[in-house]
Amino acid sequence: MNLGKKQEILDNALRYATSTKIFLSDSGAIQALPQIIIRLFPAMPILPVADENTWAAVGKETLKLLVKSGISVKSPYIFPGKPTLEADYTYAIELSELFRKTPKGIPLALGSGTINDVVKLGAHLAQRPYICVATACSVDGYASDGAALLTEGFKMTHPCPAPAVIIGDSDVMARAPALLTASGYADLLAKVPAGADWILADFLKEDPIRSVSWHLVQQHLHAWLADPKDTDAIFTGLTLCGLAMQYQKDSRPVSGAEHLLSHVWEMEHHEHQSAPVLHGIKVGIGTLLITAVFTVLMEQGVAGGALLESNNTVIHNKLALLDASFGHLANIEQMHSTLHSKYKDPRRQEMRRKKLLANWPELADQIRSQLYSYEEVATLLTKAGCPVRSQDIGLDKNKAVATLRKAQLIRNRYTVLDALDDLGLMENVIQIISSDTRFF
Ligand SMILES: [Zn+2]
């Protein structure tokens, strides 16, 4: 895509943003930062936050630029580079206390997903706007109005404003570790099945599609995904996703069942070779698994599922599975209430099942035109440098596939996993994917 067209798309998208005023995605974009600060935050001291890796990647250079322009910069807060910083709520609290010590100080996040998320919430708690200089196109969360943080062991999105300014310098991002770019690519590719989930939810009147957020994410998605090594395109696509979340005030436009799988693996503290697996890498495996689910439904149709249990039995069985899977977590009570809210209308499951069975051929056509085939997804992920087998992130295939059952429980967001459950096909599909050698 040519640069003029890209800028036009970005400018158009910013019209819908409520928190982000400036978004630069270009080679050398960092050079514009001092003038932006002088214009938006005159005479306000800057409070840089980084980790040792991102400080080396862009921190020192940024500091020099700002000081040269006469901007007051407080001493940076630098997290250790190793082990990989976990996106934990306690860091946001720590930072908010630090930010409060400098009246009118403007936090400056220098980093990727984790640094941005802890600064985002920290800045909000200290009631400050903030700036983000992205060091890798690794996640879609830069521009979202929320910080996804582990909170007492549970992955929670805390509502808080997105950065006022986002700088994505493609020269900086091109120097990022290759696996971070691969992770961002997979997070962007996830918007393909996430869109299919939204089509399903819209059809069943569970969650109507809103055209602005749909188009922000989906309109040029294939163009952003065309070259898994084009950091500029990946970053632009991911930031548009963030803006869609700002507009929607929810992550529905960018996150479906593939993210629920990843959240479960996060809650299980899944590690590979003694290190947490990057968000996008897990989401990439989730994207493959959910594409496999849709593939099976396309091939086998949706009839012939197990009979629906009574509403009370459904709730009883699901609470038992929830306790067995996540009973050790502090907020299990909250998970119980989410599950109750999913099934609060005792007739709804039956109604959805009837509607899916009666309209499947046309709905399947719509979903098919949204999705890439399993082979296409695997090829794109391989080109991006992402693992395409669950074993490659230390999850054996049966364990990975069995996550479908648990992921259905954790959020009140209608996805293909709920459709499997409504249709009585969950066990059947798990068994087919587990034994089919095309998958993983
Ligand atoms: Zn994501």
Domains of the chain: 3-176 (3.40.50.1970), 184-209+256-435 (no CATH)
CA 254 to ligand 1 centroid distance, Å:
7
On the CB side of 403, CA atoms within 13 Å amount to 26
pLDDT for the residue numbered 80: 95
Q: Label residue 105 left, alpha or beta by phi (over 0 means left) and psi (-120 to 50 means alpha).
A: beta
Ion ligand 1 contact residues with beta carbon within 5 A: 187
Residue ranges for the chain with pLDDT beneath 50? none
Q: What is the pLDDT of residue 285?
A: 97
Distance from the alpha carbon of residue 283 to the mean position of ligand 1, in angstroms: 7
Note the pLDDT of residue 136. Answer: 94
Report how far ligand 1's centroid is from the alpha carbon of 241 (Å). Answer: 10
Q: What pLDDT, on a 0 to 100 scale, did the predictor assign at position 7?
A: 77
pLDDT at position 1 is: 67
Distance 140 CA to ligand 1 centre (A): 6
Per-residue pLDDT tens over the stretch 309-346? 999 999 999 999 999 998 888 788 889 999 999 999 99
| H-helix or E-strand spanning residue 26 | strand 22-26
Q: How far is CA 224 from CA 124, 134, 206, 220, in A?
A: 31, 18, 29, 6
CA dist., res. 55 & res. 118, Å (int): 16
Sheet with 131-134, strands from edge to edge, namely 22-26, 165-169, 131-134, 106-111, 46-51, 77-79
Only one residue has tokens 């930031």, namely: 239
**What per-residue confidence (pLDDT) applies to 376?**
97
Do you know the residue count of the chain?
440
* 150 C-alpha to ligand 1 centroid (Å): 14
Could you tell me the distance, in angstroms and rounded to a whole number, from the CA of residue 355 to the centre of ligand 1?
30
Can you give the pLDDT at residue 155? 75
d(CA 187, ligand 1 centre) in Å: 5
Q: How many angstroms is it from 265 CA to the middle of ligand 1?
A: 13
What pLDDT score was predicted for residue 3? 63
| pLDDT at 276 (0 to 100) | 79
Q: How many CA atoms lie within 13 A of 57 on its CB side?
A: 25
CA of 43 to the centre of ligand 1 (A): 36
Largest alpha-carbon pair distance within the chain?
71
Helix (H) / strand (E) containing 385: none
Cβ 110 vs Cβ 48: under 8 Å: yes
